[in-house]
Amino acid sequence: MRYFLSISFLIVTLTACEYRTVRLQQFEVHGIDVSHYQSRINWDAVGGEEIHFAFVKASEGISMVDTLFCRNWEEMKRIGLYRGAYHFFRPTLPAELQAENFLSAVEMEYGDLPPVLDVEVLDGASKVQLITGIRTWLYLVEIRYNIKPILYTNLKFYNKYLAGHFNEYPLWIARYNSREPRLACGRDWQFWQYGNRGELSGIAGHVDFNVFNGSMEELKSLCFSPPLILSEGFIEGP
């Protein structure tokens, strides 16, 4: 009996040690993503935690806007983080109205990260309906801002439903592991959400930890930028 109790204690201890998401120090650029679930964040405290970027939930479906989006959006700018906004996609609802919901909520500024479409549920939709809706949302948001949005999903969902599609868009993959995601189609990822139990000063409870697959300069190159004025007076987008 003592032997089994010792084994049980060891398992519980190891699990407790692994409960907190530990930062992956081999990456240069670190970030978080938040929503109203983190409640009111002390962004000044977060600013002292060597975080370089943050994504915040803006909207969901055709009418929902995150209750803390406006506050988080302004605070992220105030402390100098690279900031991005995301929309949680509902595949059975009209993609045009979902894009309109996001565009009405988010006022992008130069230096912001591209908009993000968060796709992780089917809600009973078919694969064709899912792909068509995603493409519509991405297209409408891209033509509004003249920048390609980022597509977010988890590794299993991507490999099952999205691999081979949307290769022209930056990819943000969720895989809670210390090993990097490997995509079925062989393409690279740009952002990786590697854990959902991170701890930071200024945030009560847990927060998702992310890394960018590149340098700070490469992150900056992804951001929303003003159009270039060419020598002949022509305008070229970012």
Q: How far is CA 70 from CA 11, 67, 116, 196, in A?
A: 43, 8, 16, 23
Helix H or strand E segment including 18:
helix 2-18
User: How far apart, in whole angstroms, are the C-alpha atoms of residue 7 and residue 199?
Assistant: 28
What are the chain's domains?
25-224 (3.20.20.80)
> Which of 108-117, 137-146, 182-191, 228-237 has the lowest average pLDDT?
228-237
Residues 53/219, Cβ–Cβ less than 8 Å: yes
The whole-number average pLDDT for the span 82-90 is 98
Token pair belonging to 172 = 């943000």
Token pair belonging to 145 = 């801002």
Supply the residues annotated as catalytic. 33, 120
Q: Regarding predicted confidence, which is higher, 10 or 132?
A: 132
pLDDT at 152: 98
| Region of 73 on the Ramachandran plot (φ > 0 left; ψ -120 to 50 alpha; else beta) | alpha
The per-residue pLDDT of the chain, averaged, comes to 90
Torsion sign, CA atoms 172, 43, 78, 69? positive
Closest CA to 166 of 180, 144, 187: 187
Q: Are strands 53-60 and 64-65 parallel, antiparallel or unpaired?
A: antiparallel
Amino acid symbol at 63: S
pLDDT at 159: 97
How confident is the model over 16-65, as pLDDT tens digits?
A: 345 899 999 999 999 999 999 999 999 999 999 999 999 999 999 999 99
- The answer, yes or no, to whether residue 232 has pLDDT greater than 60, is no
Closest CA to 98 of 133, 61, 134, 67: 61
